[in-house]
């Protein structure tokens, strides 16, 4: 009888130990899973927080006019950045036909919404083509640069050359706006957005103003040359890269 009693007590104790072990294992697994999810969430939030935003704010030259959007230089820039695993995104807020006056009206809300780290300001061409007052164009561009800086964004100003039929004096005074503002406001200047494109008929559309799809990779390379140093200054931690001209073309 005593022997049976001892066997029963031993089995009961063993069962209790198994139950306790099972409860502990379950709690330990849940705790580990919870910690892992918390760390993953923290990492994702950190990556999202540190991602730099590049705002392209322009007109039809940046809005993929009369070509597929994915063929435009802005989309090509985003593709290149992703391929190089650079922690940055490109927001294209360009509108065909936009003037500096219209841009100045739109920019405050755009800056508030996107909170960009870098603003590529590509406006003024339509002002020149429509013969707007140069002083007003300069004033509007200057205000947009100031607004961007007030949002702690670095600015890249893109220079534009007007067609020669507008006259030597007017075209020179128009281009000087970009040179003088870049110097005065200490911002990066792309001397000519359409460098190596605007004078090549095979890279331009029939209107002689807008680049075709074949000219877009060259524009992207031109922009990248001036954007790359600013991204390096932002400590994104990537290896300096040059676009493959053969691949892009």
Is it the case that residue 229 has pLDDT exceeding 70? yes
Q: What is the pTM of this model?
A: 0.78
Distance between CA atoms of 45 and 59, rounded to whole angstroms?
33
Check residue 63 and give its pLDDT.
98
Q: Which residue has the tokens 């580990």?
A: 32
Check residue 232 and give its pLDDT.
86
Task: Tell me the pLDDT of the chain averaged across its residues.
Answer: 84
Is it the case that residue 44 has pLDDT exceeding 80? no
In DSSP terms, which residues pair with 120 in a beta bridge? 56, 156
Nearest Cα residue to 192 out of 168, 174, 208, 213? 174
Copy the structure tokens of residue 215.
């000219």
Residue 159: CA count within 13 A, CB half-sphere: 23
Taking residues 22-41, report their average pLDDT: 46
Q: What is the pLDDT of residues 143-189, one digit of tens each?
A: 999 999 999 999 999 999 999 999 999 999 999 999 999 999 999 99
Catalytic residues: 60, 207, 210
Taking residues 93-119, report their average pLDDT: 98
Of 133 and 235, which is predicted with more confidence? Answer: 133
- How are strands ordered across the β-sheet holding 52-58? 88-92, 52-58, 118-122, 154-158, 188-190
Name the pLDDT band for 235 (thresholds 50, 70, 90). low
Check residue 233 and give its pLDDT.
80
Name the pLDDT band for 92 (thresholds 50, 70, 90). very high
């Amino acid at each position: 009888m005593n022997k049976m009693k001892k066997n029963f007590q031993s089995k009961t104790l063993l069962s209790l130990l198994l139950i306790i072990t099972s409860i502990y294992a379950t709690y330990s697994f849940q705790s580990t899973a919870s910690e892992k999810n918390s760390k993953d969430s923290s990492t994702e939030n950190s990556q999202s927080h540190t991602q730099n935003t590049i705002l392209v704010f322009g007109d039809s030259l940046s809005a993929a006019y009369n070509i597929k959007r994915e063929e435009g230089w802005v989309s090509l820039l985003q593709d290149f950045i992703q391929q190089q695993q650079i922690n940055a995104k490109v927001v294209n807020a360009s509108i065909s036909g936009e003037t500096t006056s219209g841009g100045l009206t739109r920019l405050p809300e755009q800056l508030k919404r996107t909170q960009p780290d870098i603003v590529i300001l590509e406006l003024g061409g339509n002002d020149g083509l429509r013969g707007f007052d140069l002083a007003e164009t300069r004033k509007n561009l200057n205000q947009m640069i100031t607004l961007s800086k007030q949002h702690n964004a670095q600015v890249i100003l893109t220079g534009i050359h007007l067609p020669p039929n507008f006259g030597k004096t007017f075209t020179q005074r128009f281009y000087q706006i970009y040179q003088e503002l870049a110097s005065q406001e200490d911002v990066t200047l792309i001397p000519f957005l359409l460098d190596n494109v605007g004078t090549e008929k095979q890279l331009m559309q029939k209107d002689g103003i807008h680049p075709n799809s074949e000219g877009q990779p060259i524009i992207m390379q031109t922009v990248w040359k001036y954007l790359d140093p600013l991204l390096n200054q932002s400590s994104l931690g990537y290896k300096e890269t040059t676009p493959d001209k053969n691949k892009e073309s």
